[in-house]
Amino acid sequence: MEGIIAVNKAAGMTSHDVVGRLRRILKTKKIGHGGTLDPQVTGVLPIAVGKATRLIEYMQDGGKVYEGEITLGYATTTEDAWGDIVERSEVPKDVDSELIDQLMAEFQGEMEQVPPMYSAVKVNGRKLYEYARAGEEVERPIRQVTIQEFSRQSDLRWEEGVLRFDFRVVCSKGTYVRTLAVDLGNKLGLASHMSRLVRTQSAGLTLAESYSLEELEKLVEEGQRTFLLPLEYGASTLPVYELSAEEAQELQFGRWIKAVNQEERVAAFYQGKLVAVLEKKGDSWKPHKVFV
């Protein structure tokens, strides 16, 4: 069995939990995921099965889309709704939605981001959340991320002294969306956190085409495999290059071919099938991974 599966991850599960359950459902060990989701975050988790696991690194490089909710009025240890409250702010009744929109738009483009202490980023061989739980401070690495969109998606809602609104983010890999919520609050001079998050798109896969684990288990019991997408979906984040018959044969022998554009990495197809992922070396493309 090989291919790509779009899983709709439920809250309360780690990405590793999903992989473990799928190994039991599909009765195969060669399974991996294409982008970690925090346990309380739901939505699209790309899964690779069999030979498609060789495409995971490319799946992770693709952009992602999230939808969620920001709460102004208090901050938490984890920057989301599941941490302990560490700061409160009185939210003025005249908070201007136009000002919020203007400040959110300022995040668009490339920016530096410091990962939250409650994250799985490793420093000196230990995960940041291990330092946080031990009450230890450590210097965190700065990440370069890209935000294509950070926008408000609902009216402002007043609830028990806090202000909430829905948002949408289109961003590069490695972006901490909960940190965007905190940084927006800082721009407003208010304590804030991310109170809900759903990933609606990842590695070219959408929430609409994703399956819950329960749905997948039922389909497998019925002998169906309609959920299994061709491994070509795993290369959907890469530029496509259509090979000639001669080039396809050269690549199958592990030989280099002449690069016809400036792309550093391309997915090379022949007659609709993924032949290889190529990397640019000088004026040539060399096979990085060959699939046919």
Using CA atoms, how far apart are residues 273 and 292, in angstroms rounded to an integer? 8
Could you tell me the pLDDT band of residue 117, with boundaries at 50, 70 and 90? Answer: low
What are the respective helix, strand and coil percentages of the chain, to the nearest 5?
Answer: 25, 35, 35
**Alpha-helical segments (H) within the chain:** 15-26, 56-61, 97-105, 128-133, 177-188, 213-221, 245-252
pLDDT at site 35 = 83
Q: Degrees (nearest 5) of the Cα angle 242, 59, 238?
A: 25
Q: Which CATH architecture has domain 64-200?
A: 2-Layer Sandwich (3.30)
Out of 17, 38, 61, 96, pick the active-site residue.
Answer: 38
- Domain 3-62+203-234 architecture: 2-Layer Sandwich (3.30)
Domains 3-62+203-234 and 64-200 share a fold: yes
Condensed to tens digits (0 to 9), the pLDDT of residues 221-253 reads 999 999 999 999 999 889 999 999 999 999 988
Cα–Cα distance between 78 and 85 in angstroms, integer? 9
In angstroms, how far is CA 121 from the centroid of its own chain? 15
Can you tell me the mean pLDDT for 62-76?
95
Tell me the residue ranges of DSSP E strands in 153-208: 157-159, 162-171, 192-202, 205-206
Mean pLDDT of 258-265: 91
% of the chain with per-residue pLDDT over 90: 75
More reliable by pLDDT, 254 or 216: 216
Bridge pairing between strands 42-49 and 3-9: antiparallel
Q: Is 38 a catalytic residue?
A: yes
CA distance 109 to 222: 47
| Rounded Cα gap, residues 55 and 93, in angstroms | 50
Residue whose entry in the numeric block shows the structure tokens 């070509």:
232
Is residue 27 very low, low, confident or very high in pLDDT (cuts 50, 70, 90)? very high
Please, which pLDDT band fits residue 287 given cuts at 50, 70 and 90?
very high
Q: What is the pTM of this model?
A: 0.90
Residues 163-219 pLDDT 10s = 999 999 999 988 999 999 999 999 999 999 999 999 999 998 999 999 999 999 999
Tell which wins on pLDDT, 132 or 24.
Answer: 24
Task: Give pLDDT, residue 62.
Answer: 82
Return the CATH number of the domain spanning residue range 239-290: 2.30.130.10
Euclidean distance between CA atoms 55 and 232, whole angstroms: 9
Domain positions in the chain are 3-62+203-234, 64-200, 239-290
Question: What confidence category does residue 148 fall into, taking pLDDT thresholds of 50, 70 and 90?
Answer: very high
